[in-house]
């Protein structure tokens, strides 16, 4: 079968959940036995989001092959359970960078290099490269931004051309819009959708399917009106109502028949999807029998997209443990010795988040002392692990000045230091230790018990590392290295003795947790926090009544 391309655009406003719709459709098609991937085209000029502030862009998602990408790729992986790669995220910056590099090399000698055809050709080649790889039956292409944005124009034009290049029957255009409910008028309004579809028409694209975000159900009359004015069949007007969790969206899309319409229009024969396992997961998320509170200590707690994968990993691990993990967001900027008891009251686990730069470090150290001394289950991720080592060095080993050279280059105990190969790097973009590396686990460690295998592979995004010079002294005092990268002898995991569950990891486990494969470290962390909660009588048992209330 020739690869089919499904282009997904958005209109009216941003934040309609295009990434979730793409992931849901991907899941439904994959469950029908089709080989599916999703590609995100982002219209900004950064070559990748790696240099952006989390306030601007939310989490930077890292792939196995070391690409720093848009957080939507995280949803694609969590839903589909298939790793993405550099090829799955293309930005305008990347496209221009490559076109200009080629121009300098003489690839276009004699020509004037222009948006059309050179930029649009480059976009098309990126999309086609995935289709032509032979690995997929379906390539879903999510176009970032909103139709009508100036910077999105070359993408829509490239899609328009691709429809002719690969044949109409091999492509489909899905447009996601908003159908607002006006309380005062007491009715749903279709005009914004009509305008949005008109805008995309003017750019030469006719949407085949409209996915309409709405707060109340679309009745037959509204669907007919949208179909008539927007030139689609009534069955191709799909309602997307607010869901209790993002994981319910595939089930809602199935009910609306989105996947059915897609395969019909693309003339694909495919079996019915089997969603039994997915339903069980949604049920476990919606009706847990316990609830615990875990503190997430970080700098960006007022901008929770910055920790998207951590939040979702807790949801996956919670479902396995039949427990809702309520995240208590704790700003490291505001945490101090004076308020730590109060701010962490009632929590039965502490996670210290990844991050960069010195702001909020003191608060993170206070949270770690609290978890270590009170024997609260603790998970430190990347910077969180580095902070755990700093805290231990200062407060247990007595090295008052111990620090990371990221925060104090003059420290007399540089226990976290720049990796050797980072020392001469000046460029900031794409130059960290990125992507998947192996880690060998110590027998009988908490990590080995969690993973239940001796060698693992996890994704990274950092410049600093635990300084091997101090490992023996730390171990003598009770902080042990239990995971190492075998090739480079880099420390990957530390664990504290005399503590039920205290684990710091240099890598990012949250990037590999999926619905079908909840991450073992998160599963065990939640389990340990539940254990702690029941020991101190702080586990909440949810009755059937409360369960339905939480829904
Ligand atoms: N700033 C630290 C480093 O670069 C940690 C990075 C992170 O938490 N992702 O090593």
Ligand 1 atom nearest the C-alpha of 406 is: 1
CA of 517 to the centre of ligand 1 (A): 25
Residue 508 is a catalytic residue: yes
User: In the prediction, which pLDDT does 397 show?
Assistant: 97
CA of 243 to the centre of ligand 1 (A): 35
- Mean pLDDT within 495-513: 98
Categorize the per-residue pLDDT at 543 as very low, low, confident or very high, splitting at 50, 70 and 90: low
Residue 544 has pLDDT above 60, yes or no: no
Residue 412 · residue 425 · CB < 8 Å: no
Distances (CA, A) of 129 to 87, 132, 153, 496: 8, 5, 21, 47
- Mean pLDDT within 12-36: 95
- Mean pLDDT within 43-53: 91
Q: Which of 303, 301, 302, 296 is nearest to 328 (CA)?
A: 296
Residues with CB under 6 A from ligand 1: 354-356, 382-383, 406, 461-464
Q: What is the per-residue pLDDT across 440-472, written as a single tens digit (0 to 9) for each?
A: 999 999 999 999 999 999 999 999 999 999 999
β-pair type (403-404, 414-418)? parallel
CA of 53 to the centre of ligand 1 (A): 14
| DSSP assignment letter at 333 | G
How many Å is the Cα radius of gyration of the chain? Answer: 25
β-partners of residue 291 are 324, 540
Ligand 1 atom nearest the C-alpha of 356 is: 1
75, 460, 499, 508: which is the annotated catalytic residue?
508
Structure tokens at 193: 């959708």
Say how far residue 31 (Cα) sits from the centre of its chain. Answer: 21
Between CA 405 and CA 413 the distance in angstroms is 9
Cα-Cα-Cα-Cα torsion 342, 343, 346, 347, nearest 10 degrees, comes to -150
User: In the prediction, which pLDDT does 287 show?
Assistant: 92
- Mean pLDDT within 218-238: 97
Residue 293 · residue 326 · CB < 8 Å: yes
Residue 428 has pLDDT above 90, yes or no: no
Categorize the per-residue pLDDT at 56 as very low, low, confident or very high, splitting at 50, 70 and 90: confident
77, 370, 510, 519: which is the annotated catalytic residue?
510
CA of 161 to the centre of ligand 1 (A): 42
CA of 354 to the centre of ligand 1 (A): 6
Ligand 1 atom nearest the C-alpha of 465 is: 10
End-to-end CA distance of the chain: 43
Alpha helices in 170-257 (DSSP H): 191-202, 220-230, 249-256
Residue 510 is a catalytic residue: yes
User: In the prediction, which pLDDT does 547 show?
Assistant: 53
22, 230, 323, 382: which is the annotated catalytic residue?
382
Q: Which of 332, 386, 414 to mutate to test the pocket of ligand 1 (most atoms within 8 A of CB)?
A: 386
- Model confidence, pTM: 0.95
CA of 390 to the centre of ligand 1 (A): 14
E strand or H helix at 51? none
What sign does the CA torsion over 260, 261, 262, 266 have? Answer: positive
Residue 510 · residue 460 · CB < 8 Å: no
Q: Residue of the nearest CA to atom 5 in ligand 1? A: 383
> What is the pLDDT of the chain when averaged over all its residues?
95
Residue 404 · residue 394 · CB < 8 Å: no
Residue 107 has pLDDT above 80, yes or no: yes
Structure tokens at 228: 């008539």
Q: Which of 332, 356, 491 to mutate to test the pocket of ligand 1 (most atoms within 8 A of CB)?
A: 356
Q: What is the per-residue pLDDT across 366-398, written as a single tens digit (0 to 9) for each?
A: 999 999 999 999 999 999 999 999 999 999 999
β-partners of residue 505 are 381, 493
């Amino acid at each position: 079968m020739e690869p089919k391309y499904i282009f997904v655009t958005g209109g009216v406003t941003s934040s309609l959940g295009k990434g979730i719709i793409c992931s849901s459709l991907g899941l439904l098609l994959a469950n029908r036995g089709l080989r599916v991937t999703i590609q995100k085209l982002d219209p900004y000029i950064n070559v990748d989001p790696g240099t952006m502030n989390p306030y601007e862009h939310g989490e930077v998602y890292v792939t196995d092959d070391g690409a720093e990408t848009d957080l939507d790729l995280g949803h694609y992986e969590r839903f589909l359970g298939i790793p993405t790669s550099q090829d799955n995220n293309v930005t305008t910056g990347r496209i221009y960078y490559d076109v200009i590099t080629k121009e300098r090399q003489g690839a276009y000698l004699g020509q004037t290099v222009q948006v059309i055809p050179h930029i649009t050709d480059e976009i098309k080649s990126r999309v086609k490269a995935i289709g032509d790889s032979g690995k997929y039956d379906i390539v879903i292409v999510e176009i970032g931004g909103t139709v009508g944005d100036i910077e999105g124009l070359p993408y829509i034009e490239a899609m328009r051309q691709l429809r002719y290049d690969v044949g109409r029957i091999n492509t489909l255009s899905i447009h996601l819009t908003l159908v607002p409910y006006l309380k005062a008028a007491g009715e749903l309004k279709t005009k914004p959708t009509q305008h949005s579809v008109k805008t995309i028409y003017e750019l030469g694209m006719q949407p085949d399917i409209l996915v309409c975000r709405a707060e109340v159900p679309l009745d037959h009359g509204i669907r007919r009106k949208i179909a008539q004015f927007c030139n689609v069949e009534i069955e191709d007007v799909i309602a997307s109502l607010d869901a209790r969790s993002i994981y319910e969206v595939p089930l809602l899309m199935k009910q609306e028949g989105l996947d059915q319409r897609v395969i019909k229009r693309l003339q694909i024969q495919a079996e019915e999807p089997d969603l039994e396992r997915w339903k069980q997961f949604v049920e476990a998320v919606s009706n847990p029998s316990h609830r615990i509170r875990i503190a997430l200590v970080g700098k960006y707690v007022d901008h929770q997209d910055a920790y998207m994968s951590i939040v979702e990993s807790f949801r996956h691990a919670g479902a396995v443990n039949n427990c809702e993990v309520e995240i208590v967001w704790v700003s490291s900027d505001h945490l101090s010795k004076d308020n730590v008891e109060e701010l962490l009251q009632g929590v039965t686990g502490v996670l210290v988040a990844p991050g960069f730069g010195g702001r909020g470090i003191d608060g993170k150290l206070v949270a770690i002392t609290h978890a270590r001394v009170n024997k609260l289950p603790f998970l430190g991720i990347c910077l969180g692990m580095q902070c755990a080592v700093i805290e231990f060095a200062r407060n247990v080993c007595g090295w008052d000045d111990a620090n990371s050279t990221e925060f104090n280059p003059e420290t007399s105990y540089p226990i976290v230091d720049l990796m050797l190969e980072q020392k001469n790097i000046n460029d900031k973009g794409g130059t960290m230790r990125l992507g998947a590396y192996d880690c060998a686990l110590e027998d009988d460690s908490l990590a080995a018990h969690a993973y239940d295998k001796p060698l693992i592979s996890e994704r990274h995004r950092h410049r600093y590392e635990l300084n091997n010079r101090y490992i023996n002294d730390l171990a003598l005092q009770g902080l042990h290295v239990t995971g190492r990268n075998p090739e480079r002898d880099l420390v990957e995991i530390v664990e504290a003795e005399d503590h039920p569950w205290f684990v710091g990891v240099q890598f990012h486990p949250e990037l590999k947790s999926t619905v079908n494969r909840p991450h073992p470290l998160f599963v065990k962390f939640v389990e340990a926090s539940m254990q702690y909660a029941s020991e101190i009588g702080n586990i909440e048992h949810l009755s059937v009544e409360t369960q339905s209330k939480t829904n």
